[in-house]
Amino acid sequence: MYKFQPIVKTLLWGSESWQLSGVPGSLSVVCEGPEEGRTVADLLAEQHERLVGRRNYKRYGDTFPLLIKFIDAHLPLSVQVHPNDELAQKRHGTFGKTEMWYVVHADKDAYLYAGFNRLLDPESYCRMVENDTITDALAKHELHDGDVFFLPAGRVHSIGGGTTIAEIQQTSDITYRIYDFNRLDKNGNRRELHTELAKDAIDYTVFSDYRTHYLPCPNRPVELVNCKYFTTTLLELSKPLCFNHRAMDSFVIYICLEDDCEFTDGQGQQVILHAGQTLLVPASNSNLCLRPIGTAKLLEVHN
């Protein structure tokens, strides 16, 4: 089981803490234990399917397939969209970016944008970007702690200020910036927009509800998102819970959101995960027991 040193990125609107990353140039490094100092790429190159599972290794090779972040937004992020696998491969030779958000904390009156509130086409989208009215066409959502949003590639989105979000996404750093509220960067220049690139990446479908609804159930797994790139489950624990992940044929990631949790695997290794930390459990490590220290809240992610 592996814990990693966070990679903190300070940005115009706040900061990101990359908890587990296989993105070239931003590889996560093991922070404790016998493998301390090694990157997730090192682990994958040595363990192959024993780390990620047979299906995942066949599909992704020596690229770790998911990127885990905490986003701390003091100001609104730009309005943006990510390409799907087909378009990203054609243009950039990389994976697309489907993602999800779990709202860890939201200030009063916090909001985000996800999806459209009206039907647009590429031409009307471009006109609204040009005349600074594109946010009028975005579905705006008030936020509360524990809210969940699934963002398939192609869905336009933006996080508002006063929010802390756990983000699970494909391993990709391809973002098309649509609108940036006419802000200036540290050099006094407006940041580049990718209006034309985004035009063909956007899914213009309008939905009546973009929020993911679920019912919390203490001490039982609650599935939040299940897509072809990841499955994410919420665990709210006040007593121990044990699993056998053998049939899953996948790594498992645990993101600790509240309090602490002790993990014990089938070899007797013990790791304590604190709030704000992330743990990677290899596919070969199938037996696992979780013991909350207090009442722990975690996200469990596998592929």
User: For position 245, what pLDDT does the model report?
Assistant: 87
> What span, in angstroms and rounded, lies between the C-alpha atoms of 290 and 275?
14
At position 246, the amino acid (one-letter code) is R
Q: What are the structural domains, with CATH classification, of the chain?
A: 2-212 (2.60.120.10), 222-302 (2.60.120.10)
User: For position 190, what pLDDT does the model report?
Assistant: 86
User: For position 251, what pLDDT does the model report?
Assistant: 97
User: For position 186, what pLDDT does the model report?
Assistant: 79
Sorted by sequence, the CB contacts under 8 Å of residue 101 that are 6+ apart come out as: 71, 112, 147, 148, 149, 151, 159, 165, 166, 167
Q: Supply the residues annotated as catalytic.
A: 177
Is the distance from CB of 273 to CB of 281 less than 8 angstroms? no
User: For position 26, what pLDDT does the model report?
Assistant: 96
Rounded mean pLDDT for each run of 10 residues along the chain, 303 residues in total: 96 95 96 95 97 96 96 96 96 95 97 98 95 96 98 98 98 94 85 94 97 96 97 97 90 97 92 96 93 95 95
User: Does pTM surpass 0.85?
Assistant: yes
